[in-house]
Amino acid sequence: MKRVKFQPGFPISAILIIPPDRFLFIFFANFMTSVPDEMFDIVDADDNVISQGSRHEVHTRGLMHRSVHILVFNSHGRLFMQKRSMEKDENPGFWDTSAAGHVDSGEYYAHCAQRELREELGIDCSVLDEIMRIPAQEDTLWEHVRVYKCVTDQDIRINDSEISEGHYWTLDELTETINSTPAIFTTTFHLIFGQFINKF
C-alpha cells in the first residue's frame, strides 16, 4: 500500500491511497485513452476531399475515405497473402492482400503504400505500379481503394501485431481456394482478385 504524503499546497483531491499494482493499471488505462485517434480525409463519391475525421468517426458513421492494397509477387509469380490479426478492428482473421492500410489525412496514396509495406512486411519496394482503382462501396467498407503491385524477393518480416500469418500462393492455388472456401477472404480481396485475374 503506497501513501501520498500531504504537503502544504497539495490539493486534497490528489491524496490517494492506492496499491501499486492498481496505480499502474489506472495509469496505463489513462495513457491508452489519451492516445490520439488516427485522422483520415473524408471524401465524396468522386474521391474529392470534403473534410477530415477520426478513424472512429469515419468507421462508425460509414463515411467514405481512402485506403491502399498492395499485391507483392516474388520473381516466380507467387503472390504473398496475409491473414489479418484477430486484434484488427476490421476483418479480423480473414485472408487479405499482401499489405493494406488507410491513407492518413494529407497523405498521398503511393506514399501510404510504401509505408504499409515497411510497417507490415518490413520491405521497401523501389518500383510500385498502380494497377487498379476501386470506388468506395459497401464491399470495400466505404473506402476508395488504389491497388499497387510490387515484385521483390526480399525476405518478408511480418508485423505480428498486424498479421497472424502469411505465405506465398500460386494464382491457381488462390483461385481453387477462393472457389472452395470464399468466406475466409475479405470482400475487398474478392473484388481485387476478380479484377486482377480478368485484367492480367
Locate cell 489519451: which residue? 34
Domains of the chain and any CATH numbers: 66-199 (3.90.79.10)
pLDDT digits over 146-156, tens only? Answer: 999 999 999 99
Q: Looking at the chain, list the stretches that DSSP marks H as alpha helix, in order from N- to C-terminal side.
A: 20-34, 55-61, 109-116, 171-180, 187-199
pLDDT (mean) for 99-117: 97
pLDDT at residue 115 greater than cutoff 90: yes
pLDDT digits over 22-36, tens only? Answer: 544 444 444 444 446
| Terminal alpha carbon distance of the chain | 67
Model-level pTM?
Answer: 0.81
